[in-house]
Structure 1
């Protein structure tokens, strides 16, 4: 575990507690299959942020072992549910735990292993399809969920700073699949499984998404309507998805949620909470913020304008970024096509306390824009 600065120790002690922080994340944790009472039980065992990853990894191990036992007893449905919940626990543990990359990567690998176990228990028609897409000498790893009907649109989910395709990506994929869409979730440069192969560079990320679209167009393996491609992204993905859509005219609609649309150079990076400072150095593979600046600095209004329909969500009580309303305003100025801003004054980061409203609305909006 890396040595914490005095500022970091103070910030982690002050900020990361049940009352101040953990409760804000519960909506998100619930959204990828971890039961509420389990969340409360695990959090009750944690008195310090330094324990976070370890305690959630223990819970994931417990669920994984229960799943294996269920499978041995012939209870495949129970096993699949428990493997998925183990993925959720592992993901919670490693999520934004940038203070020990070894521990983080070990727990993330457990999530990938448990996910493979879970999806091995699906019927072939329902099973997520593993796809590895060549990109700049490496491969972009992802999972495709196919609609039950042919020639339906493709929704590509763009991860945030520290999502993994096996958690949020899977459960969002289930929602879209149930509503007749094809859905592809992936780990991009600096994210999840791909972090080991290629680090994050804001100027290059859109090329990875275009490579994914190229692959689907070239392969033509699946009955997908590739004239109707859309992107959706949350958190950092709420910035990346619109930017990728601006760079690739094959994208016909885009949804962003809580996008960090400008950084403000080194001054802006230093203004971030210490945990996000560690996050940007981790994603980029840099040693310090001075090195980070070249790879993690942008202003959306200096990028090519978006010309396709945009649905953008922002939250007034977003604790991740300073001045969230400014980000929303910049996004609306930048987008030159049809655009809709849904601003939740009492919303938390990624409107996670309003997801019961947001997800159905996103699906309906895509149906209107892509299927008419």
Structure 2
């Protein structure tokens, strides 16, 4: 999901004997790739340099992802991922280059990247991040998948996520307004060849809740695909039942010291949102290690959605159906083609 080469993943993990070394070792791998990319660039090998810069992004993200035990390391390494990504996209031709966008929102900016389809009049897919995703890693990888299928694709860091974490922390009660602000921005731009009458949302992990919830509140979204959404919390007891790593994620994302302090910003229930009337494709995983009783989340989502709702529940799948993405992605792409057809 990060774009990491499997062989490199095995080599790096093999060098790590303790979780506390995780970020440091992956960062060193990213640094080495970044140096190789710079060398390739000085030698005129732009294609090699671009690939290595992207691989460095994947390593930096793998290192900082859910490394909540040391925020200093996490933030420093994530900044390196952004720097390497900026270097990589400078090496695209203009037609393929991800375009940086900064959208005004509540006195700060929502940072994102737009991947344009090669044909005018195609739909727009907006990717809603999970708890600790970043637009330069999963957002780029997913964008490539959707872009190859001919979709316009926009990925962004929302409040409490990635680059935006430093300027605005997460609050589940308001996140949908950030998604609507993104759509507002697109509507305010000069004619661009993007069909804004056909907008779809896709979200994985926490985004699997945030995307359908935002779609329910904004009728401009025509359909949504969600994967492994944590669709309700259940108060402080619910937070304490989360995997301990993700409990740290809750406090980090909200900028709070304790779960009790974070509760107002991270206590929600999909059934408290307006019902979803537009089509929904929802994946969930029986072996999800992030949340307790994943089937109850899947059932609750299906009970809430009142439009054309399809549940794909795989008892053998892990969080975000990561061990079945070779089947899941084609299904999502075909589903969007069908539901965003003119």
TM-score in terms of structure 1 length: 0.91
Matched, 1:172 2:148: no
The counterpart of 2:133, out of the listed 163, 178, 182, is: 163
Matched, 1:207 2:177: yes
Aligned pairs, number = 342
- How far 1:151 moved relative to its partner? 1.2
Aligned to 1:338: 308
Matched, 1:254 2:224: yes
Aligned to 1:7: none
SS at match of 1:220: coil
The counterpart of 1:194, out of the listed 164, 174, 178, is: 164
- How far 1:221 moved relative to its partner? 4.7
Aligned to 1:218: 188
SS at match of 2:312: strand
Contact (CA 8 Å) 2:285, 2:316: kept in 1 or not? yes
Aligned to 2:50: 80
SS at match of 1:294: helix
Matched, 1:231 2:201: yes
Aligned to 2:119: 149
Structure 2 CA distance for aligned equivalents of residues 368 and 297 of structure 1: 34
Displaced runs of 4+ in structure 1, greater than 4 A? none
SS at match of 1:371: coil
CA RMSD between the two structures: 0.8
Aligned to 2:214: 244
Contact (CA 8 Å) 2:243, 2:289: kept in 1 or not? no
Structure 1 CA distance for aligned equivalents of residues 54 and 262 of structure 2: 34
Aligned to 1:58: 28
Measured against aligned partners, the alpha-carbon deviations of 1:203-241 in whole angstroms (never above 9, x if no partner) come to 000000000000000113521100000100000000000
The counterpart of 2:262, out of the listed 292, 296, 301, is: 292
Aligned to 1:89: 59
Aligned to 1:182: 152
Structure 1 CA distance for aligned equivalents of residues 99 and 298 of structure 2: 35
- How far 1:275 moved relative to its partner? 1.1
Unaligned runs of 5+ in 1: 1-27
Unaligned runs of 5+ in 2: none
- How far 1:257 moved relative to its partner? 0.0
Structure 1 CA distance for aligned equivalents of residues 268 and 190 of structure 2: 35
The counterpart of 1:130, out of the listed 100, 104, 108, is: 100
- How far 1:148 moved relative to its partner? 0.5
- How far 1:299 moved relative to its partner? 1.1
Matched, 1:118 2:82: no
SS at match of 1:308: coil
Q: How does 1:15-26 map to 2 (within 5 A)?
A: none
Contact (CA 8 Å) 2:241, 2:291: kept in 1 or not? no
Contact (CA 8 Å) 2:3, 2:138: kept in 1 or not? no
The counterpart of 1:322, out of the listed 292, 302, 314, is: 292
Measured against aligned partners, the alpha-carbon deviations of 1:40-71 in whole angstroms (never above 9, x if no partner) come to 11101111111111110000001100111111
SS at match of 1:209: helix
Q: How does 1:29-40 map to 2 (within 5 A)?
A: 32-40=2-10
Moved more, 235-244 or 174-183: 174-183
Contact (CA 8 Å) 2:57, 2:80: kept in 1 or not? yes
Structure 1 CA distance for aligned equivalents of residues 57 and 276 of structure 2: 35
Structure 1 CA distance for aligned equivalents of residues 182 and 21 of structure 2: 37
- How far 1:273 moved relative to its partner? 2.0
Structure 2 CA distance for aligned equivalents of residues 98 and 188 of structure 1: 18
TM-score in terms of structure 2 length: 0.99
